[in-house]
Amino acid sequence: MNYTPYSLKETLAKANELFIKEGDILSPEMIAIRSSFLSPRQVEEFGDPRLYLSFLENLVNERHQLSFPEETDLNRRYFKDCIALKDLELSLPGFQEEIYLAETIGMLNTLKTPYYETYFSTLTAMKSVFSCQDILDRTLKDFYGMMLKSPEPRLPLISAIARQGLFYREISLTDEQVIRGLLLSTLAEFMKPEASLKDLEEYLSREKAFFLNQTDLIPWTGETLPTLLADRMIHINIPSSETGESARNYGETKSQEIDSDFLNHYAENMNTRTYLADPAIGREEEIRDLSLILISPRKSPILIGEAGVGKTSVAEGLAYALQKGNVPDLLKGKKIFKLTTTSLLSGTKYVGEMEERMRKLMDELARYPDVILFIDEIHTIVGAGSTESSNNDLSNMLKPYIDRGEIKLIGATTSAEYHRFIKYDQALSRRFYPIHIEEPDRDLCMKILEGTIPAFSIQTKVNNPFGPGKTRALLSSLLDISSPENQPEDLRTHWPELPLSILEMAFSYAALVSRQNLEVEDFIHAAAHSNRLKKSVRQDAGKYFLS
């Protein structure tokens, strides 16, 4: 890198220019950045003025998405680790500034949980192991997902497993898919509740002996990984850890029922739904973010995305994970209740009735601290219940309870409604941490459709008789016909809602005539009767599925 060698004075001047340009210098986030990261000592400590300014600008640009620790020591530790990460990445070939800056933001978000040190040590170890950015990202996400599910005493095991990747490099293992497979298999083995650090050390010692006795490492590739794992397992011969009282109890969850007439009347317990398939296919990262914010004591998450992209599905995905016990320990036993403002306000005709109902809701939530409220279309709480004589709407009544940490909320709204109703109210918006739900791309949408077919089949009692190739071809045609250019401009529907609704209708057409198997004609009928497609497209739907 050939960065301009700014002087200390020039660097500080450009940093201050950045703050002045933003015009938000007295916001809590800007104060946190200035006090923790802007000083002559920090510039000199960072060691690279040009990259330091990029780092500072990245924090300023992302400040609305971040929640800086209140303790200055934590921010200073984070800053030192950002410098350590920079030095490591500069020592590796192919330094990319944008990747480094993204990783520093990820580290700052992790600093709000007990997992920061483990995340940082895992990241720095893996940066020295993986040169392929895609494999690095996927492996790091897998490890981070396991961190969120693990209590603090188990975190040193995760760090130790990550560092084993350095040994694989030392013995000249070059196929990074093989290294990834070895790391994940070890991680799966030692995330059982009865595993200890001593057990892991013995396991890794035997593994090292196994590899050092091998002379034909080069032929091992991703294709031969299963055989390699089998050979390693036979050599190490670790007894099965499925036995024992702790293993039998691992993952068990408390009853999902809540004995509250009030909550069950005005809200729906999403944990007790029957999910025929994972409702949030491909949304693992968003669910991890959701779990992270729910663990944090100072914020509640708000899901922001356009209509149809799957905001509610992400909340359902967390409820599904809670059903399975596949969540961090701090979330186990939690229940998600879906509340609508209309149900809460219906029938409140007289002054004081809404306040009384809200007080009752808060009393019930105090009785059941494991309940998390999910409010879809959360922008509707602004102004809800206010009268000509009182501005005490639902949002103002909720604020103090969120502030004191007495309730946890998950909100969902569109980007336009968020900026119109939530963000303009600074007292309300600072209580929420935005999680942006993007429209899935074609590959992810294909996975969602494929993963939902079994659920539609069970619901309609209609089988999918097509093989994998034909099924994918039909789903690909379904995505083609539901593309934006084929939709009316005033009825734009985002993926995956439109292709999912047409797929569901195709199964329904077969069920309507009591047919046991799905046919191509069912796709054509479903598309031809969808009012979310242009008339010309509906009339010519056959060409998409018969070609």
For residues 129 and 139, give the distance between their C-alpha atoms in angstroms, rounded to a whole number. Answer: 11
pLDDT on residue 524: 95
Residue 431, pLDDT > 90, answer no
Do β-strands 335-339 and 267-269 pair in parallel, antiparallel, or remain unpaired? antiparallel
Residue of higher predicted confidence among 136 and 250 = 136
For residues 93 and 469, give the distance between their C-alpha atoms in angstroms, rounded to a whole number. Answer: 41
In the predicted model, what is the mean pLDDT of residues 461-465? 89
Sheet strands side by side (includes 267-269)? 267-269, 335-339, 371-376, 408-413, 300-304, 432-436
Residue 499, pLDDT > 90, answer yes
Cβ atoms 108, 118 nearer than 8 A: no
Per-residue model confidence as pLDDT tens digits over 198-247:
889 888 888 888 887 765 555 666 677 777 787 777 777 544 343 333 33
pLDDT on residue 247: 31
The residue extents of the domains of the chain are 8-238, 261-436, 442-545
Judged on CB neighbours under 10 Å (0-12, 13-18, 19+), 333 is middle
% residues pLDDT > 90 (the chain): 41
For residues 193 and 162, give the distance between their C-alpha atoms in angstroms, rounded to a whole number. Answer: 19
pLDDT on residue 239: 41
Residue 251, pLDDT > 70, answer no
Residue 485, pLDDT > 70, answer yes
pLDDT on residue 425: 82
Residue of higher predicted confidence among 481 and 240 = 481
pTM of the predicted model as reported, rounded to 2 decimal places: 0.65
| Cα end-to-end span (Å), the chain | 52
In the predicted model, what is the mean pLDDT of residues 47-55? 92
Judged on CB neighbours under 10 Å (0-12, 13-18, 19+), 234 is exposed
Residue of higher predicted confidence among 211 and 437 = 437
Per-residue model confidence as pLDDT tens digits over 363-392:
888 889 899 999 999 988 886 655 544 556
Q: What kind of fold does domain 442-545 have according to CATH?
A: Helicase, Ruva Protein; domain 3 (1.10.8)
For residues 15 and 453, give the distance between their C-alpha atoms in angstroms, rounded to a whole number. Answer: 53
Tokens of 500: 């999912």
For residues 393 and 425, give the distance between their C-alpha atoms in angstroms, rounded to a whole number. Answer: 13
CB atoms inside a 10 Å sphere around CB 159: 18
pLDDT on residue 3: 52
pLDDT on residue 195: 81
Residue 393, pLDDT > 80, answer no
If you classify domain 261-436 with CATH, what class do you get? alpha beta
Residue 300, pLDDT > 60, answer yes
Cβ atoms 316, 279 nearer than 8 A: yes
Residue 329 gets which letter from DSSP? G
Which parts of 150-224 fold into alpha helices (H)?
A: 155-170, 176-189, 197-212
- When mean pLDDT is compared across 52-61, 320-329, 342-351, 423-432, the lowest value belongs to 342-351
In the predicted model, what is the mean pLDDT of residues 279-293? 91
Chain mean pLDDT for the chain: 85
For residues 521 and 119, give the distance between their C-alpha atoms in angstroms, rounded to a whole number. Answer: 51
Per-residue model confidence as pLDDT tens digits over 170-193:
888 888 998 998 999 899 888 877
> What angle is formed at CA 143 by the lines to CA 237 and CA 245, rounded to 5 degrees?
50
Residue of higher predicted confidence among 30 and 214 = 30
